[in-house]
Chains A and B, each alone.
Chain A
Amino acid sequence: MIRLQKICKAFGPQMVFRDLDLTIRKGQFTVILGPSGTGKSVLLKHIVGLLKPDTGRVYLEDLDITYVKGEERQALMRRFGFVFQGSALFDSMNVFDNLAFGLRENNLCPAEEIPPRVARELERVELSGIEHKMPAELSGGMQKRVGLARATIMEPEIILYDEPTTGLDPLTTVHINRLIMAAKAALGTTVVAVTHDVRSALEMADHIAFLDEGRVLAEGTPQQLCANPEPQLQEFLNARGDAARVCTEKRDG
């Protein structure tokens, strides 16, 4: 369980969060939904400590991890996986070394087990045989999938996805969503994903938190959210026909 408690954060004069509270339950798929520029990615970075709140606390189970540093932080980060919006693959290494990196650095498995594990992980994201390619040689969608594989290969307890499908074509989006669900099912991971893709969120999430104006404006299961009369939320959910249809189905059971 991850708990964010009364998080306040400002960048200069711009207030991003005001007393934001959010609980992420273990083993669940939580989606953080909201318009662009509401600090969804910033929120994700607060969970792993890439950004620190001005005031407020982040708890993992009962442990206050807001300001954990050094080796303790490293031990903590072994429990997390993070998939970046821009993939953030190491561009000086080929795909194999990108995937092997976390395993080697953290001594997660003996050296001879690394190649088969990398091959298995690439097969899972349907990119077998590209071990020797450099990230620059891959398409955006392929980079996303390699980024995903790089996070899941370390078998973390919690995986955070920052806009996993933004900027991808509809087919690749469906594919990535399927991979995310498969990884969750296989590892029993807690998943937190940030997105503004309403349809994906409604279809995949156990729990949705709708972020607006620096706080969680509404949260609950997809059904609860679709039935929530909050005008900003309804406007966001029904802005596009396909998502609105899913919403109607959810509400009407």
Chain B
Amino acid sequence: MGMLMVDLLRWLPRRPVRWRNLLRQMEVVGVNSTFVVLLTGLFTGMVLALQSYNGFARFGAESLVGTVVALSVLRELGPVLSGLMVTARAGSLMAAELGTMRVTEQIDALYTMAVNPVHYLIVPRVTASVLMVPMLVVLSDFVGILGGYLVGVKLLGINSTLYINKTVQFVEFADMANGLLKSAIFGFILSVVSCHFGFNARGGAAGVGRATTEAVVYSSVLILVFDYILTSLLFGA
């Protein structure tokens, strides 16, 4: 993977910028993942409200449900769950697509036609992921908080004004900004890992299948590991 990273960084700034490939990948990573990310975000916010209400009601702190939902979604669950969903959808696609191109010698064909495969295939995928995952997370954050509000206020009967006031009072812009920074890094991780396994796939159909599985497993685990590391750096000990 180190080799690929070096190659990637070498080819990242080079021209020409392949706008067509980049836009296509932004569609694949971003637009096509929107629905599943929204769904994940909505239900996460809803269940968070339900769970924290259960806990807080025991010591009469129901009004803090909004704060807990917003902080959890912005700082943690929005970025991580979106990262995992994009891995499942777009990461697996990258690995399978590049893996198939590898085993059918299409990547070798690019090379022999004087086109650098890293520049042509990987740079647009990584760039698109770094740009689009944070945008998905903005949407996911929004519907997550909305879902929490709906369950908390409409279903469980917390006072609406109190719910909103407590949320606004304790949540800072930095909570969201840090979450978005994390999600950009998750976008980088999932695309580099997925491209790595696809790009280096060997051994026909079985090899492509293996590459896809490994791409999803390694990306997901690395996202969770880096989530801890980044959180401890960004939010302090």
Q: Please list the residues of chain A having a beta carbon within 8 angstroms of any beta carbon in chain B.
A: 45, 48, 50, 70, 74-75, 77-78, 80-82, 84-86, 88-91, 101-102, 105-106, 150, 154
Contacts and interface: CB of A to CB of B under 8 A. Distances in A.
Nearest to B24: A92
Given A48-B112, A74-B114, A89-B109, 11 more contacts: A74-B115, A74-B116, A77-B112, A82-B112, A88-B109, A90-B109, A91-B104, A101-B113, A102-B113, A106-B114, A150-B113
B105 interface: yes
B111 A102 contact: no
B172 interface: no
Contact of B114 (A84, A90, A105): A105
A14 to B, nearest CB: 15
A246 to B, nearest CB: 31
Interface of B: 10, 104-106, 108-109, 111-116, 120
B104 A80 contact: no
Question: A interface, by DSSP: helix, strand, loop or mixed?
Answer: mixed
A90 B115 contact: no
Contacts of B115: 74, 101-102, 105-106
21 contacts: A45-B108, A50-B111, A75-B114, A77-B113, A78-B114, A84-B108, A86-B104, A86-B105, A88-B105, A88-B108, A89-B106, A90-B106, A90-B109, A91-B104, A102-B113, A102-B114, A105-B114, A105-B115, A106-B113, A106-B115, A154-B113
Contact of A50 (B106, B108, B120): B108
B118 to A, nearest CB: 10
A80 B120 CA distance: 19
